[in-house]
Amino acid sequence: QKEVEQDPGPLSVPEGAIVSLNCTYSNSAFQYFMWYRQYSRKGPELLMYTYSSGNKEDGRFTAQVDKSSKYISLFIRDSQPSDSATYLCAITLIQGAQKLVFGQGTRLTINP
């Protein structure tokens, strides 16, 4: 069993829809949770970072962590064609020398 599971998609939705992206993880010791966005042939760019259960909002993006269920989500409201990318969840145990464990990534397309 992989430490982090993420549905690879692809996921295709119409512009303006609410998008839900999800990951599950197996090790309850994980403490830090991140979401990255990666455009084709580019490096991953950090979208959201949190270390506590609950919701964290940044503009149209909301990151949700449920440590009891070992489940994390990223919601995108009012989705735009420019949101079309691969979204990767990443989880780590500690600060400092972080060994990030990534999900496979979900490929998202927003159709105009």
Partner 1 sequence: DAGITQSPRHKVTETGTPVTLRCHQTENHRYMYWYRQDPGHGLRLIHYSYGVKDTDKGEVSDGYSVSRSKTEDFLLTLESATSSQTSVYFCAISLQDTQYFGPGTRLTVL
Residues contributing to the site for partner 1 (CB under 8 A): 4, 6, 8, 32, 34, 36, 41-46, 49, 51, 88, 90, 95-100, 102-105
Helix (H, G, I), strand (E, B) or coil at 60: coil
1 touches 26 (CB < 8 A): yes
Closest to partner 1 by CB, 29 or 97: 97
In the bound complex, what is the minimum distance in angstroms from residue 99's beta carbon to partner 1? 6
In the bound complex, what is the minimum distance in angstroms from residue 103's beta carbon to partner 1? 6
Q: Which residues contact 31 (CB under 8 A, 6 or more apart)?
A: 51, 92, 93, 94
Closest to partner 1 by CB, 98 or 111: 98
